[in-house]
Structure 1
């Protein structure tokens, strides 16, 4: 056993590289056999990248997906300029999706190694590979995966600030702010980590109040650079002629709070129809506030507490991230050509006969991650980054309780924080367990 562990420790990089390349090969093989159109919002966007005039209403109602649409729109133009026959084909967007997922894995490893150590980095990578890199979500090129990549980039850049100085340091801070701004445009909820970091900085200042002009200037630089992509994209939207946006149709934030108070706390088609029927934005907001108050009164204190407990369970219980909860069954254009293709389709399609296998495997890994989170109380209490990440996870839970939630897909954007904290917890537990065995043997 000791020899095997020693060999594993010595060859861990080569073993990990082989497993990572093998996983990518499997991703491509699976995708080539299961590729097909996906429903819900992602389907509405991807199916209209070649016909942007047909998505005017959707982007007017949901402005949060405007940048996502244009990323896919221009990506499609680039690909079709090389291969016109691939224009609008799902496979090119799904390949783009696995690139996002795989690059995020590499950056997660590098950032975690800088922030903590190689043990935590390798364990985080293995948990990520097992949970996500061969999951059905490789078929879904949506904002969750883009946000996931952006979060890992921010973590990596932040982790390297201690290694640089001068102009490279200032440029990295500016790039950090810009990426956080882009993250906000893609998925506003994904920048909770920035709020957590700000809260921790404020707490540190309260404990030891003094004017740290360096940090104040750097924070101001982050805020200014954060605003840059927002200003640039707003200017772009005001001058572009690809789609026609009617800003009066936009769903306000109160719409998502309202939906978060009904049913299982998730999407509510009746609420969407009600808000679409109200043409005046001011009246729409006013109506939403009235309904929010009414639903809170109907829940009553005890009922609302029970509702939040159940909603939190819905938000976090499934390690498959709610695969099959949204959308419609996956229907391929062509029939299966062989048994392997039939097996993979049964395994990956949400209505497949064997989809419970992949869901079960993801659930096992998710339970391991949760165990690591439980044991994370053993981590050094003075570790600033650990506190920020734990606060980010708490903030994510609170956000999903207040707004539309009801399924665990919304946790994908926060995966790096779950994986890093869980890996720290698992390693802390394993270290204490091995120490107990050594003491017992002595």
Structure 2
């Protein structure tokens, strides 16, 4: 499982570099350094976690959309992009339903842009690519569902599937809308799906009545803070998933004092990871002047992710891991504009300070 996590994270980083090359070769070097820095402070790479396993699937979906909607590309690349997008979207949806949000956002924005600039030729090409995408999605869904039914390693009972409304209910619980053990236990106690749905609906009405409109709006603002607060993605913040003694000698000693519960330098790790996280968020914010299709598409992908985590179970920054490919790409393509905005702001602040000092003299 540890090796699976390592392969998943590293392969997602490599796929992201391919996407950057399709969007513009000038982005490859920037993304290379950003991802290299990110991997140095990404401890989730050493523990099995479904949000890291889905990363290469999400990155593949973004790669498919990059091939599908790239301009001045050969026709076969766009067809291949439709196939890859369909396969990756369905695979991501089965492994982690929320992971389809970036692909859905990009395809929806592309469709809206196509309708805005209506031309029959583009409409026919778009319809053909959409048919290929739908076909690849359907075949992938049927194939994966068939594989689940045919396997005998794990017993799968579809009747015990937890309805989506349960996660909406948990998303309204507590002070941060995170995992609620009482609601989870109730889902195990209620065997019938209709009973699970009825319980969740009752709790949603009860909690919304307790919050009120103003209280719920305040709750969502606070929840968004919990969703985005930690650059460490909640490392060592919950659970007892790691039991170790003293750090090893040799090269492992470099990281174990920083990451292990018994490490002496964990505060340094939290400080550095938070610094990098704040930097990434500031770049995506200050790069607002970049407004082409891909910048807007990746912004909508992140907005969709935030809306999902606000409505459904959230309250944990580690839930943002599955959306890192989109966030890293957005940071990369808006880097130049963000640096310009930040530089101008610093110059203006410095100029005002100097002017104020001269005036006082």
Whether 1:186 aligns to 2:95 is yes
Change (3 A) 1:274 1:323: same
Q: How does 1:125-274 map to 2 (within 5 A)?
A: 125-161=32-68, 162=70, 164-167=73-76, 169-211=78-120, 212-263=123-174, 264-274=176-186
1:129-174 deviation line (CA, Å, top 9, x unaligned): 2223442112123221222222222333433454653555424421
Whether 1:324 aligns to 2:236 is yes
SS in 2 for 1:330: coil
Structure 2 counterpart of 1:116: 24
1:385-432 deviation line (CA, Å, top 9, x unaligned): 111111001000000000011111111111122222223333113346
**Displacement of 1:220:** 2.0
Structure 1 residues not aligned, in runs of 5+: 1-92
Change (3 A) 1:123 1:287: same
Q: Quick check: 1:322–1:407 contact (8 Å CA) kept in 2?
A: yes
SS in 2 for 1:231: helix
Which of residues 301, 318, 326 is equivalent to 1:392?
A: 301
Compute the TM-score of the two structures, normalised by the length of structure 2: 0.86
Greater CA deviation, 244-253 or 301-310? 244-253
Structure 2 counterpart of 1:95: 3
**Displacement of 1:345:** 3.1
Whether 1:293 aligns to 2:293 is no
1:192-239 deviation line (CA, Å, top 9, x unaligned): 122212331343244334550110121121122112222112212223
Which of residues 330, 336, 348 is equivalent to 1:427?
A: 336
Change (3 A) 1:434 1:276: closer
Q: Quick check: 1:323–1:350 contact (8 Å CA) kept in 2?
A: no
1:57-93 deviation line (CA, Å, top 9, x unaligned): xxxxxxxxxxxxxxxxxxxxxxxxxxxxxxxxxxxx2
Structure 2 residues not aligned, in runs of 5+: 352-361
**Displacement of 1:351:** 5.5
Distance 2:334 2:76 in 1: 37
**Displacement of 1:343:** 6.4
Which of residues 277, 283, 293 is equivalent to 1:372?
A: 283
Distance 1:249 1:133 in 2: 40
Structure 1 counterpart of 2:356: none
Q: Quick check: 1:131–1:366 contact (8 Å CA) kept in 2?
A: no
1:309-367 deviation line (CA, Å, top 9, x unaligned): 110000001111111233215113x7655487566433212464322211211111111
**Displacement of 1:299:** 0.7
Change (3 A) 1:228 1:317: same
Q: Quick check: 1:259–1:265 contact (8 Å CA) kept in 2?
A: yes
Change (3 A) 1:208 1:342: closer
SS in 1 for 2:54: helix
Q: Quick check: 2:4–2:53 contact (8 Å CA) kept in 1?
A: no
Q: Quick check: 2:168–2:312 contact (8 Å CA) kept in 1?
A: yes
**Displacement of 1:255:** 1.0
Change (3 A) 1:427 1:189: same
SS in 1 for 2:288: helix
Q: Quick check: 2:65–2:107 contact (8 Å CA) kept in 1?
A: no
Greater CA deviation, 369-378 or 198-207? 198-207
Change (3 A) 1:351 1:409: farther
Structure 1 counterpart of 2:266: 355
Q: How does 1:12-23 map to 2 (within 5 A)?
A: none
Coordinate RMSD, CA, aligned: 2.5
Distance 1:336 1:252 in 2: 43
Distance 2:48 2:134 in 1: 29
Q: Quick check: 1:130–1:362 contact (8 Å CA) kept in 2?
A: no
Distance 1:389 1:189 in 2: 15
SS in 1 for 2:287: helix
Structure 2 counterpart of 1:314: 226
